[in-house]
Structure 1
């Protein structure tokens, strides 16, 4: 039986995405401004926010900080989105705090969105738990994203690509400014919280072209903020495959160093930070699933747009040169699937198309038609399930047991795959105590 808190949260889905901070600010005021009771490091960007946040939280924990982590979307359970020192919020606390937000919304006579409610729950939980700092991944934007209400002096910008242009702007330049303007909301929140001085902000920036980087520096200067562009480190070891994760980890190291050395509590230890990263695997993103014998059986990657697929194929070319994969592929209706398939085609020998019950998923007929139009054949198709994955794995292993099955195209699909495989691979052990819940981006 679903809880009252989850009933309330699901009732928010009808409001979709509503950019703006008025409702969140009003509710924070009623709830006692919990967001002012901890430090915040904002992570914004088109791709790479989740891994950067996850790596950063691990480095902060290793230095003794009680650390919150806020990410979206989740793979299996809503509880993943709100963590303290890597432990997900409990079902009981989640339900209790959802009802707190519900009651505050009734008092304020506002109708917060799904994402706004979860953001507020996270604020309340981190305040209750007495965290020192939160690595807070923005949802879609920056300036008008509800997470911006938290007063962070550090902003990490991971990358810029064309996505959600109807809200964020039609060009990469417009999207850059929209995401960096998270500082505008933070400054307003500091003033609203009656703090006498606005502390100088710091941007840690990566993944930009030279022209966008020049704009980022100009934006920082106009806001009297520092702009740090860290070098990509060559001494980072990660469980996640791909140079883009090295880039994200480099940003995390730079942000952690700046935050820790300015905290007055301790001094940043680079060796300790690198050690923390060696075992920090961001689930579902270029993640290798290895069996008891050490054989890599699957590679899971939530690449769900052309920008992310480019990184995926770069990584496959680097780590598996000349190899073609059996690929389990599914995607949402609003993605440029044709471009994604074109980019992946040189690295795939067999296409196994799939979908989940989630209503935004593309139908199998649609995927088959797109593949056929590109001159590509479908090897198998069916609803995503353990049985379907096993069948693909058996076919691939019979052909070459040293080549893992690639599963990609949608984070929603990766979530279903994690749920199906979590009891068989130690790399998914985190998910074993979590039950599936509503899976929405916002």
Structure 2
């Protein structure tokens, strides 16, 4: 039976995504401003936020700092989003803190209605952000790595007022909210540190993935705020479990952000103990950090890679996937288990992937936004792509596809599972008992599919 806290959280889905800080600030104040009881690093950008946050949190933790990590979306269970030292928030604490946020919202709303104003209605993401703040404050962490949900200036994570902001990349997204140009979106994301000089002065931006034009704009914007800018070199000595140059780029950002935080904190005496940044320790840590579901390799007992999980769910992400396959598996073709949501440009995704696929297997999950098998089959037939098998995603169907892949004597490539993060999450749930790389998810039961 679903808990009252989770019922409250799911009731927030109807409010969608509402940019703005008014509700979050009001509720933080009612909850005793938990966001001010720990130090924060923000991670913003169009792509790469999750992996950068994950790598950064791991490096900080390796240096002895009690480290919070707040990321979205989740793949299997909501508890993944709120972690301390890589351990998800316990279910009991999640439910308790959800009810604490609900009580604060009810109290603030009652006061506003009595004064003739509208009640406060926090969104799904705002509620989870508040739960993270409360949990991190209770647990007395040293630092939280906070991945923004959308934008930066008006994202609920911004109220934490972190001293470092990592900008991973800039592209056109959510233009109706963030602005019609990359320049406007850049300013929105950099606004996570505050748009007034008195709030932002002395903070640091770590900038990656920007064109020369945007980089010049970012430097000018930072200078106007009294902020420092660091533009890291892409390092050649980073080894990661996740395949792809873009992950090396994100890890390079994480190393600089970690060094900046640790060294400044050490000089200022604001963290316990004599901690100095250790680059060799950081590199050793990154070599073990596999960001789940993103060019993630799953090996069998013999060490042979059996499955590649990649949540590429749009044309941009598929291009990165294809680039990586070309680099790491030149000339190879894969059995591909593919599924996608109804609102995705499946035709373009399939065209990009087709040269790298030997046999297509199509699937769907029960999630209502998933594309029906008949629709997917029609898309593939229009591109003259042959469907080798199809079926609802289940352990039985997944085993059938894995057996088909393993029995193909002409092709010794791993099974590639891609097309949707929702499908990756469902696949992880089915496979987590079989592969050591998915051990993190054992003990996590599936929760709401909504990835807001």
TM-score by length of 1: 0.95
State the partner residue of 1:96.
96
Cα 1:218–1:374 change in 2 (3 A) is farther
> Which residue number in structure 1 is paired with residue 77 of structure 2?
77
Q: Give 2:58's aligned residue.
A: 58
Offset of 1:354 from its aligned partner?
1.3
1:131 aligns with 2:133: no
Q: Specify whether residues 366 and 210 from structure 1 end up closer, same or farther in structure 2 by C-alpha distance, changes over 3 A only.
A: farther
Gap runs ≥5 in structure 2: 110-119
CA–CA distance in structure 1, aligned partners of residues 435 and 30 of structure 2: 44
Q: Give 3-state SS (helix, strand or coil) of 2:194's partner.
A: helix
Native 8 Å contact 1:232 1:250 kept in 2: yes
Correspondent of 2:353 among 344, 356, 363: 344
Matches of 2:339 and 2:258, distance apart in 1:
36
Give the Cα–Cα distance (whole angstroms) in 2 for the partners of residues 373 and 244 of structure 1: 32
Show the counterpart of 1:12. Answer: 12
- Corresponding residue for 2:256? 254
Say if 2:23 is the partner of 1:30: no
Q: 2:324 aligns with which of 311, 315, 318?
A: 315
Q: Which residue of 1 aligns with 2:242?
A: 240
- Whole-Å Cα distance in 2 between the matches of residues 125 and 70 of structure 1? 11
Query: In the alignment, which residue of structure 1 is the partner of 2:112?
Result: none
Cα distance in 1 for partners of 2:187, 2:348 equals: 27
Equivalent position SS for 2:57: helix
What is the aligned-residue RMSD (CA, Å)?
1.5
1:372 shift after superposition = 2.0
Other-structure match for 1:194: none
Q: Determine if contact 1:296/1:402 at 8 Å carries over to the other structure.
A: no
Helix, strand or coil: the match of 1:136? strand
Query: What SS is found at the alignment partner of 2:18?
Result: coil
Residue among 248, 256, 277 paired with 2:286: 277
2:425 corresponds to: 415
Task: Give the equivalent residue in structure 2 for 1:358.
Answer: 367
| 1:255 to partner: Cα distance | 0.3
Structure 1 residue 337, shift from structure 2 partner: 2.2
Alignment size in residue pairs: 434
Match of 1:204 in 2: 206
2:204 and 2:129 mapped to 1: Cα distance? Answer: 23
Q: Quick check: 1:404 aligned with 2:414?
A: yes
**How many Å separate the matches in 2 of 1:417 and 1:338?**
23
**Which secondary structure state, in structure 2, belongs to the residue aligned with residue 6 of structure 1?**
helix
Contact 2:41-2:162 at 8 Å conserved across structures: yes
**Residue deviations 1:291-316 (CA, integer Å, cap 9, x gap):** 11111110001111222211111110
Q: Give 1:47 deviation, angstroms.
A: 1.2
Give the TM-score normalised by structure 2: 0.93
SS of 2:41's equivalent? strand
> What is the CA–CA distance in structure 2 between the aligned matches of 1:113 and 1:64, rounded to whole Å?
34
Instruction: Identify the residue that residue 369 of structure 1 maps to in structure 2.
Output: 378
Deviation at 1:4, TM superposition (A): 0.6
User: Unaligned 5+ residue runs, structure 1?
Assistant: 192-197
| 1:216 matched to 2:225 | no
Does structure 2 retain, via aligned residues, the 8 Å contact 1:153–1:199? no
Deviation of 1:335 after TM superposition, in Å, equals 2.3
How much does 1:199 deviate?
Answer: 4.7
- Kept in 2, the 8 Å contact 1:73–1:439? The answer is no
User: Using the alignment, how far apart are the partners of 1:254 and 1:343 within structure 2?
Assistant: 34
Structure 1: distance between partners of 2:321 and 2:211: 19
User: Are 2:133 and 1:111 equivalent residues in the alignment?
Assistant: no
Change (3 A) 1:431 1:378: same
Given that 1:53 and 1:136 are in contact with CA atoms closer than 8 Å, whether structure 2 keeps it comes out as yes
Deviation digits for residues 375-396 of structure 1 (CA, Å, limit 9, x no counterpart): 2222222211111211111111
Match for residue 182 of structure 1 among 192, 196, 200: 192
Whether the aligned pair in 1 keeps the contact of 2:201 and 2:227 (CA below 8 Å) is no
Deviations 1:198-232 (A, max 9, x none): 65111111112222222222222222211211000
Tell whether the 8 Å contact from 1:78 to 1:439 is kept in structure 2 after alignment: no
Given the alignment, which residue of 367, 390, 399 partners 2:399? 390
Greater displacement, 244-253 / 348-357: 348-357
Kept in 2, the 8 Å contact 1:350–1:378? The answer is: yes
Secondary structure of residue in 2 paired with 1:433: coil
- Measured in 2, the distance between the counterparts of 1:217 and 1:150 equals 23
Structure 1 runs (4+) deviating above 3 angstroms are none
**3-state SS of the aligned residue for 1:181?**
helix
CA contact (8 A) 2:395 2:430 kept: yes
Stretch moving more, 43-52 or 361-370 = 361-370
The residue that corresponds to 2:115 in the other structure is none
SS at the partner of 2:412?
coil
Separation in 2, partners of 1:156, 1:379: 43
Aligned match of 1:164 in 168, 171, 174? 174
